[in-house]
């Protein structure tokens, strides 16, 4: 399966107020492996960047003045995402902006959903972690994804970070980069069997102090989770 993790930056939050896209960033995943292939483009939004948006991404009007307009990069963008499954965090926001830009460029092109399907990683996170914070920053902390370079938002940087988060969020085998070595697939397919005569692992029971620390942790989870801590339900069932 081919997936593209996508993010955009805009001049402001409301399409109705004339706000536009000013940056596009996407990274490719093939069969749950990052390929290092990406798409990145700054766009002249043909309007001023709102002060609040500038504080988020730091992309200035002066920087954008010589960049191509959206209509000039649209074909290349659609070629990159065509036929893929788009992974977007809070997808409705980005998709609405992209469809608006497409309609301004050429109404005959239809909508983004005519070229690819869309999956909202925020909705996946909310189902997996109900009652918890599921912003990209919160998910980075939860899954130990390095976001130290994310002092300001940027479409490509956020797409790269979201790609790592998405692979961890959706579980299963995770390979962050394609293995370029010959014979890697064959080696991975070999079955490794444990020695049946190996020494048995010792069973270590928790101390009173460890049990108390565990209980304190569950109480803390009960306080922040809408449905309570899973461990509490598992031990009481």
Could you say which of 40, 100, 129, 153 is catalytic? 153
The sheet with strand 85-88 has its strands ordered as: 33-42, 21-30, 2-10, 85-88, 117-120
* pLDDT score recorded for residue 150: 61
Residue scoring higher pLDDT (226 or 162):
162
Closest of 164, 162, 166, 159 to residue 9, by C-alpha: 159
Residue scoring higher pLDDT (103 or 54):
103
Token pair recorded at residue 144: 């130990």
Residue scoring higher pLDDT (101 or 191):
101
Residue 88 has pLDDT above 90, yes or no: yes
Residue scoring higher pLDDT (11 or 183):
11
Residue 179 has pLDDT above 50, yes or no: no
Give the integer Cα–Cα distance in Å for 139 and 145: 8
* CA dihedral over 67, 73, 74, 78, signed as positive or negative: negative
Residue 175 has pLDDT above 50, yes or no: no
- Would you list the DSSP string of 9-51? EES-S-GGGT--EEEEEEEEEETTEEEEEEEEEE-B-SSPPPH
Residue scoring higher pLDDT (2 or 210):
2
Global confidence as pTM:
0.71
Give the integer Cα–Cα distance in Å for 98 and 101: 5
Helix (H) or strand (E) holding 91: helix 91-105
Residue 8: count of CB within 10 angstroms of its CB = 21
Residue 177 has pLDDT above 60, yes or no: no
Q: What is the CATH number of domain 2-169?
A: 3.30.420.10
pLDDT tens column, 92-143 = 999 999 999 999 999 999 999 999 999 999 999 999 999 999 999 999 999 9
* pLDDT score recorded for residue 182: 40
pLDDT tens column, 62-81 = 999 999 999 999 999 999 99
Contacts of 173 (CB under 8 A, 6+ apart): 32
Residue 19 has pLDDT above 60, yes or no: yes
Residue 202 has pLDDT above 60, yes or no: yes
* pLDDT score recorded for residue 173: 44
Residue ranges per domain, the chain? 2-169, 206-237
Mean pLDDT for the chain overall: 85
| CA separation, residue 104 to residues 71, 81, 107, 195 (Å) | 8, 19, 7, 66
Decide if 38 is catalytic. Answer: no
β-bridge mates for residue 21, sequence order:
10
């Amino acid at each position: 399966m081919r997936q593209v993790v996508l993010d955009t930056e805009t001049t402001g939050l409301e399409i109705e107020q004339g706000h536009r896209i000013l940056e596009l960033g996407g990274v490719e995943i093939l069969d749950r492996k990052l390929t290092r292939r990406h798409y990145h483009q700054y766009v002249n939004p043909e309007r001023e960047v709102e002060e609040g948006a500038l504080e988020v991404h730091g992309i200035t009007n002066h920087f954008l003045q010589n960049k191509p307009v959206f209509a000039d990069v649209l074909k290349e963008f659609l070629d990159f995402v065509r036929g893929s499954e788009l992974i977007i965090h809070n997808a409705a926001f980005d998709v609405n902006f992209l469809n608006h830009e497409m309609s301004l460029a050429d109404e005959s092109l239809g909508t983004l959903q005519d070229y690819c399907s869309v999956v909202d990683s925020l909705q996946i996170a909310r189902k997996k972690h109900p009652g918890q914070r599921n912003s990209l920053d919160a998910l980075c902390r939860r899954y130990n994804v390095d976001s130290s370079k994310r002092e300001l938002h940027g479409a490509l940087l956020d797409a790269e970070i979201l790609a790592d988060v998405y692979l961890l969020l959706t579980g299963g085998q995770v390979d962050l980069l394609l293995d370029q070595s010959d014979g890697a697939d064959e080696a991975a397919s070999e079955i490794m069997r444990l020695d049946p005569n190996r020494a048995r692992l010792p069973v270590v029971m928790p101390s009173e102090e460890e049990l108390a620390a565990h209980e304190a942790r569950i109480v803390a989870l009960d306080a922040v989770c809408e449905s309570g801590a899973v461990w509490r339900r598992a031990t009481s069932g």
